[in-house]
Amino acid sequence: MTEPLLSVRGLTVEFPTRRGVLTAVNNVSFDIMPGEVLGVVGESGAGKSMTGSAIIGLIERPGRIAAGEIRLQGERIDGISPSAMRTVRGRRIGMIFQDPLTSLNPLYRISDQIVETIRTHLPISLAEARRRAIGLLDDVGIPDAERRIDDYPHQFSGGMRQRVVIALALCAEPDLVIADEPTTALDVSVQAQIIDVMKRICADRGAAIMLITHDMGVIAETANRVAVLYAGRVVEIGPVRDVIKDARHPYSVGLMGAIPKLGGDAERLTQIPGSMPRLSAIPQGCAFNPRCERVFDRCRVERPEPIAVAPQREVACWLYDEPRSDGRAHA
Amino acid sequence: MLALIIRRLAQSVLVMLFVALIAFVMFRYVGDPIASMVGVETRIAEQEIMRDRLGLNDPVFMQFLRFIGNAVQGQFGISYRLQQPVSELIMSRLPATIELAFASATIALIGGVALGVFTALRQGSFATGAIMAASLVGVSLPTFLIGIALIYIFAVELGWLPSFGRGQVVELGWWRTGLLTESGLRSIILPAITLSLFQLTLIMRLVRAEMLEVMRTEYIRFARARGLSDKAINFGHALRNTLVPVITITGLQLGSVIAFAIVTETVFQWPGVGSLFITSVQVVDVPVMAAYLMFIAFVFVVINLIVDILYFAVDPRLRVDGGAAGK
């Protein structure tokens, strides 16, 4: 087995506040293989974006990584010096943000922003960097790139701007791209195109993707593996097909039930009752226990850690703890 | 863009006409010009003849048109007090005021931007706290008090700098400058600092607030995520985005620096337009007051026009479709 490109172990991100410490990401572990697309899915506030920010070292104060380690190609990148981190950002890990309308500096031409980024990381001439930038814009599907490169961000539509953002994230040829809800702010009709562009351009360059989204449909089409996050923890991780067809954690079961199926019967989509707890009020034991249909006593007391249930699959749920202590079903 | 400039020019002309009307009304109706020209023993009949000769019996509208016509040619009449053409008086005082205004605006702009950026980037440090506290003093202390305090410290106690006047001046054509001699330069330091202090703290607080705002934006985060250096982010990406409001305020402040240098000019006996105005008010020298009013309005209008044009240089979003997109 090859060495993972990115390896996250026991990552914990905390926010000290006046009313105690909030744990936004709690003991999260996962690997990303070279060239792989890992989907990270969960509700708002589940810690998806925070995990991405932690990897690239951009957690906003007063948040901090309280425990765990992050390794990129075997080398630790958490807690390294700001100047060392700058050689990781953009160069080895690219990042795509949610809103293309606000990701680009409105006062600079697209060409300036791309060329500046390329020349920060690669020792090439201005003319060469510009040639590359045009090639890249062409690649992400901006028509007439040679002319449009000198336009300002406001002269592009939302979808086009997100293509520019993708070009910017990839311009120094990183090995990993963290895409934080890259299509959430876009029209539905454009979303699929952007995902296609991103997937193709990363595949061409052999870059892995960590795709953060709350849209299971996007994950199903794009990712190789998926990690389901709930209240700052990984509750289930495994290959996308397996997780979609045969979700194990009751929360993932609910999530998958919420994907509409084409051509299926017109039955109602399932809904998970209640909402995710606030970070300041995470229940004891399993964080999902108040909403779980299959909750039993142990869930309310003891916190489950990820348990391997099949090759490449882990589920953090006492239902799968051996010897199997089958809980009584409420419903 | 050209369309916008033309539109702005038209608006400027309107503003100037309106100010001219006020100046004219003041000129014509604040006191009786004849009464202030003649002695007690002049006969009523003689006064009527003068009134006729000066056109004061013409319809008000005609008088206003004549006032405008003269104003456009730079004619504002004769000063009651000094018996010189008002335009000459103002022109002879103008260089002093403009040099003082630009010196203090430069101090305010450079100092304000530098301190604003510094305090925004060093959030929570001791130096930031000290600067912010000191800036409160700068905003709240009245100008004359600062001027007097500076005179006391640097002129009276330490004896380093002169406390009044412009020092030695050099004639450059009609422009009399104090910036080319040592005593002139030494003389401008205290008044320029006094005049700049308020603007400096204002610009500093503005830049700081804008910087903090911009540093929270997504595009700064994205710039960080691309691994750009701190220098490129702070000064390239962030600072430029704070400039639009800073330009506005600085422009308007430069206007008020010229207009309200009165206090500073009085404290430091600076021979500028402001002190001319003060002495004119004391003796109700209406032509000078009217001309001063017109002059200040003109300064504001010109500065506003320049500010509008600068927006275009800084923010490309305004350039599309003759500026319609940005409005």
Cβ contact, residue pair B222, A97, below 8 Å:
yes
| Whole-angstrom distance, CA of residue B18 vs CA of residue B6 | 19
Report if residue A10 sits inside a domain. yes
* Residue A266 structure tokens: 């017109």
In this complex, the residue of A86, A102, A121 whose CB is nearest that of residue B218 is A102
> What is the DSSP code (8-state) at residue B85?
B
Compute the count of residue pairs across chains A and B with CB atoms less than 8 Å apart.
Answer: 79
Q: Which CATH superfamily is domain B87-326 in?
A: MetI-like (1.10.3720.10)
d(CA B22, CA B68): 12
Contact A106 B317 (CB under 8 A): yes
pLDDT at residue B45 above 50? yes
CA dihedral A97, A188, A232, A330 (to 10 degrees): 180
DSSP A231: T
Q: What tokens appear for A330 in the block? A: 């409420």
Asked if A56 has any chain B CB less than 8 Å from its own CB, the reply is: yes
| pLDDT of res. B74 | 76
* 8 Å CB contact between A88 and B227: yes
> Could you identify the residue written with the tokens 């530098």?
B114
CB contact under 8 A, B314 and A165: no
In this prediction, residue A211 carries a pLDDT of 94
In chain B, which residues have their Cβ closer than 8 Å to the Cβ of A120? Answer: 226-229, 232
Angle at which helix B218-225 crosses helix A158-170, to 10 degrees, equals: 30
The answer to whether the CB atoms of A152 and B223 lie below 8 A apart is: no
Residue A289 counted as domain residue = no
Coil, helix or strand at residue B307 = helix
Which positions 187-206 of A are in contact with B (Cβ < 8 Å)?
none
CB under 8 A, 24+ apart: contacts of B244-247: B244/B311, B244/B314, B244/B315, B245/B206, B245/B210, B246/B113, B246/B203, B246/B206, B246/B207, B246/B210, B247/B307, B247/B310, B247/B311, B247/B314
Q: Name the band, by pLDDT with cuts 50, 70 and 90, for residue B230.
A: confident
What mean pLDDT do residues B40-57 have? 76
Stronger pLDDT, A208 or A281, i.e. the higher one = A208
pLDDT at A1: 59
CB contact under 8 A, A89 and B225: yes
Residue whose tokens read 């309308």? A101
**pLDDT, tens digit, 9 for 90 and up, residues A231-267:** 889 999 999 998 888 888 888 888 887 777 666 565 6
Distance of CA A170 to the CA centre of its chain: 16
Check whether B247 has a pLDDT greater than 50: yes
The upper half-sphere exposure of residue A171, i.e. CA atoms within 13 Å in the direction of its Cβ, equals 37
Contacts of A82 in chain B (CB under 8 A): 230
pLDDT of B195 reads: 85
pLDDT in tens, B133-189: 888 887 788 878 888 888 888 888 887 887 777 777 777 777 777 777 777 788 888
Work out the pLDDT band at A34, boundaries 50, 70, 90. Answer: very high
Interface test with A, best of B122, B123, B219, B320 (most A CBs within 10 A): B219
pLDDT at B37: 67
Nearest C-alpha in A relative to B320: A155
Query: pLDDT digit string (tens) for B12-39?
Result: 889 888 888 888 887 777 666 677 666 6
The nearest alpha carbon in chain B to A167 belongs to B226
- For residue A279, being part of any structural domain is answered with no
Q: Is the pLDDT of residue A330 over 70?
A: no
Separation in Å, CA A77 to CA A32, A49, A69, A247: 15, 18, 8, 33
Cα A121 from Cα B295, distance rounded (Å)? 55
pLDDT at A125: 93
Residues paired with residue B201 on neighbouring β-strands, in sequence order: none
| Closest CB from B217, B226, B315 relative to A102 | B217
Q: How would you class A307 by CB atoms within 10 Å of its CB: exposed for 0-12, middle for 13-18, buried for 19 or more?
A: middle
**Averaged pLDDT for residues B49-77:** 78
What does the buried/exposed string (b/e) look like for B7-39 if buried means 16 or more CB atoms within 10 Å of the residue's CB? Answer: ebeeebeeebeebbeebbeebbeeeebeeeeee
Q: Is residue A268 part of a domain?
A: no
Which residue of A105, A114, A168, A180 to mutate against B (max B Cβ within 10 Å)?
A: A105
CB contact under 8 A, A152 and B317: yes
Report if residue A66 sits inside a domain: yes
Cα(B239)–Cα(A16) distance, integer angstroms: 30
| Chain A CA closest to residue B224 | A89
The residue in chain A having the minimum alpha-carbon distance to the alpha carbon of residue B315 is: A107
Task: State whether B226 and A168 contact (CB < 8 Å).
Answer: yes
Kindly state whether B106 is in contact with chain A, defined as any CB-CB distance less than 8 angstroms: no
CB contacts under 8 A, A 240-269 vs B, are: none
- Answer yes or no: do B226 and A165 touch at CB < 8 A: no
pLDDT of the residue at B325: 37
Is pLDDT of B210 > 70? Answer: yes
Burial code (b: 16+ CB inside 10 Å, e: under 16) for A225-248 equals: bbbbbbbbbbbbbbbbebbbeebb
**In this complex, which of B229, B237, B325 lies closest to A120 when CB atoms are compared?**
B229
Of the candidates B221, B227, B241, the beta carbon closest to that of A91 is on: B227
* Tally of domains within chain A: 1
Q: pLDDT tier at B76 (50, 70, 90 boundaries)?
A: confident
* Amino acid of residue B320: V
Contact B223 A105 (CB under 8 A): yes
Residue-by-residue DSSP string for B133-192: HHHHHHHHS-HHHHHHHHIIIIIIIS--S-SSS--S-EEETTEEESTTSHHHHHHHHHHH
Please judge whether B226 and A155 are an interchain contact, meaning their C-beta atoms are less than 8 angstroms apart.
no
Identify the pLDDT of residue A179. 92
Cβ contact, residue pair B232, A116, below 8 Å: yes
Count of C-beta atoms within a 10 Å radius of residue B47: 15
Cα of B76 to nearest chain A Cα, Å: 46
Q: Give me B82's structure tokens.
A: 């000094």
Is the pLDDT at B322 greater than 60? The verdict is no
pLDDT in tens, B256-310: 888 768 888 888 888 888 888 888 888 777 788 888 888 888 888 888 888 888 8
Residue of chain A whose Cα is closest to the Cα of B316: A107
Write phi, then psi, for B181 (nearest 5 degrees).
Answer: -115, 155
- B-chain CB neighbours of A121 within 8 Å are 227
CA angle A269, A275, A281 (to 5 degrees): 160
Q: Which residues of B touch A90 (CB under 8 A)?
A: 225-228
What pLDDT does residue A164 have?
92
Chain B residues 150-209 with CB within 8 Å of chain A: none
Of all residues in chain A, the one with the smallest CA distance to B237 is: A105
CATH number at residue A77: 3.40.50.300
Residue A270 has pLDDT above 80, yes or no: no
B82-137 pLDDT, tens digit each: 778 888 888 888 888 888 888 888 898 899 999 999 998 888 788 888 888 888 88
Q: CB burial class (10 A; 0-12, 13-18, 19+) of residue B327?
A: exposed
Long-range contacts of B179-187 (CB under 8 A, 24+ apart): B179/B99, B186/B161, B186/B162, B187/B161, B187/B162
Sign of CA pseudo-dihedral A220, A226, A232, A234: positive
Computed on alpha carbons and rounded to an integer, the radius of gyration of chain A in Å comes to: 21
User: Is the confidence at residue A307, as pLDDT, over 80?
Assistant: yes
In chain B, which residues have their Cβ closer than 8 Å to the Cβ of A185? none
Q: Which residues of A touch B223 (CB under 8 A)?
A: 105
Q: Which residue of B has its CA nearest to A169?
A: B226
- Given a contact cutoff of 8 angstroms between Cβ atoms, the answer to whether A60 and A85 are in contact is no
All structural domains of chain B with their residue ranges: 2-72, 87-326
> What is the residue range of A186's domain?
6-241
Contact A56 B225 (CB under 8 A): yes
Across A10-19, B3-12, B314-323, which has the greatest mean pLDDT? A10-19
Q: Mean pLDDT, chain A, as a whole number? A: 87
Smallest CA–CA distance, residue B73 to chain A, in Å, is: 42
| DSSP SS3 for A307 | strand
Q: What confidence score (pLDDT) does residue A70 get?
A: 93
**B124 in reach of chain A (CB within 8 A):** no
CB proximity A133 to B under 8 Å: no
What pLDDT is recorded for position B52? 77
